[in-house]
Amino acid sequence: MPVIAGPGLIGTVAEVNKTNSKVVLISNTAENSNRFAIQIIGEDSKVVNGIITSYDSQNNRIVMGNITSKAKLSKGDRVTTSGLGGVIPKGIYVGTVSKIAEDDYGLAKKVYIKPAANLNDIEVVSVAVRD
């Protein structure tokens, strides 16, 4: 189930107990964690699908890596969940594109995304449940 803080997605419920729940944040990029399927709609209205591949903790940015699409992406483009994988519904706001860079080998792009919610200061969350 998606977990939202303020204006955007912060993670998913991983475990539920009688008195509390454990949430996996979108910034968690451990090998055994779920990868979050996201999408960016570029200037040319083309959709770029991908997953969150890493987290830049110094700048509080999530990273969508390994993008080979030729779609034109720009700073400020809206990032939402894609619904792929069936874990999180499509269309939940994640954040905005803050930077686009080539990967280390120059073969693909990495997109740095400013999360909608401050992942370092979470006080109140909401859990979205399906009907």
CA distance 122 to 10: 9
* Residue 128 in domain: no
- Tell me the two tokens of residue 120: 């370092």
CA distance 52 to 50: 7
pLDDT value of residue 13: 93
Give residue-wise pLDDT tens across range 51-71: 999 999 899 999 998 898 888
| Domain containing residue 56 | 2-120
pLDDT average, residue stretch 72-88: 92
pLDDT value of residue 31: 73
pLDDT average, residue stretch 9-30: 92
* Residue 87 in domain: yes
* Residue 127 in domain: no
Tell me if 114 sits within 8 A of 60, measured CB to CB: yes
Residue 45, pLDDT > 90, answer: no
Number of domains the chain is built from? 1
Question: What is the value of pTM for the model shown?
Answer: 0.90
Helix (H) or strand (E) holding 126: strand 126-127
* Residue 112 in domain: yes
pLDDT value of residue 34: 66
* Interior/surface letters 85-115, b for 16+ CB within 10 angstroms, e for the rest: eeebeeebbbbbbbebeeeeeeeebbbbbbb
Q: What is the domain-level CATH number for residue 16?
A: 2.40.10.350
**What average pLDDT does the structure give for the chain?**
90
